[in-house]
Amino acid sequence: MSLLPILCYPDPKLNTVARPVQAVDARVKQLIADMLDTMYDANGIGLAATQVDVHERLIVIDVSEDRNQPLVLINPEITWASPEKQLNDEGCLSVPGIYDGVERSSSIKVTALDGDGKSRTLEAEGILAVCIQHEMDHLLGKVFVEYLSPLKRNRIKTKMLKARRDTERA
């Protein structure tokens, strides 16, 4: 088990657009295992490779109650999104302790490779749809706080920078 360091907002590396995974090889399978360990250890329900400073199109998710149904999406693409939207309070492992409302499509259809490199299509709604959209934003270099007003975003940025300084002093 290898825990990976999670980048924290406003680290500029979080704004890097991820490139496609070229092959599902031993390196990528190890990255998937490490990302799942990191996500579970941090009590998250999703993690994008961008958040662990690997700028490839890979996300891991587990929205199950028992935390035993990991979902791996490599090179995911949303092929359909419902016009119906829903407002959800979102949080992020890269913005610890901050939650705010973000509007997203209620249901989506996604195509991606799984952890074995097999192509799959997935229909998702509810929390899974929200989580996939949130994590896919990371692959595009976007953090959920960028949906918020400039005032809220600046307050969060100030709070995160202060927390980083306090941690570095300790």
As annotated, the binding site for Fe cation includes 92, 134, 138
Active site residue 90: no
Per the annotation, binding residues are 92, 134, 138
**Helix, coil or strand: residue 10:** coil
State the catalytic residue, choosing from 56, 123, 125, 135: 135
- Name the CA dihedral angle for 78, 34, 97, 106, rounded to a multiple of 10 degrees: 20
Q: Give the Cα-Cα-Cα angle 40, 2, 145 (nearest 5 degrees).
A: 50
How far CA 13 is from CA of 8, 55, 109, 143, in Å, comes to: 9, 9, 28, 11
Q: Pick from 125, 26, 109, 31: which is nearest to 72 by CA?
A: 31
Instruction: Give the catalytic positions in this structure.
Output: 135
